[in-house]
Amino acid sequence: MSRESDFYLRRLHSLLGIIPVGLFVTQHLVVNHFATRGEEAFNNASNFMGNLPFVLFLEWFIIYIPLMFHAFYGVYIAFTAKNNVQRYGTFRNWMFLLQRVTGVFLVIFIAWHLYETRIQKALGTEVDFDMMANILDNPFMLVFYILGVLSATFHLANGLWSFCVTWGIAQSPRSQTIVSYITIIAFLALSVIGVQAIFAFV
Contacting positions for ligand HEM (CB under 6 A): 10, 14, 17-18, 21-22, 25, 70-71, 74-75, 77-78, 99-100, 103-104, 106-107, 152, 155-156, 159-160, 162-163, 166
Chain centroid to CA 148: how far?
8
Least distance to ligand HEM, CB of residue 151, Å: 8
Cα 105 from Cα 73, distance rounded (Å): 15
Maximum CA extent, the chain: 53
CB of 133 or CB of 189, closer to ligand HEM: 189
Q: With 0-12 CB in 10 A as exposed, 13-18 as middle and 19+ as buried, what is 3?
A: exposed
Omega prior to 20 cis, within 30 of 0: yes
Least distance to ligand HEM, CB of residue 190, Å: 10
CB of 17 or CB of 194, closer to ligand HEM: 17
CB of 159 or CB of 194, closer to ligand HEM: 159
Least distance to ligand HEM, CB of residue 195, Å: 15
| Contact criterion met (CB below 8 Å) for 66 and 21 | yes
CB of 159 or CB of 201, closer to ligand HEM: 159
Least distance to ligand HEM, CB of residue 71, Å: 4
Closest CA to 45 of 54, 36, 19: 36
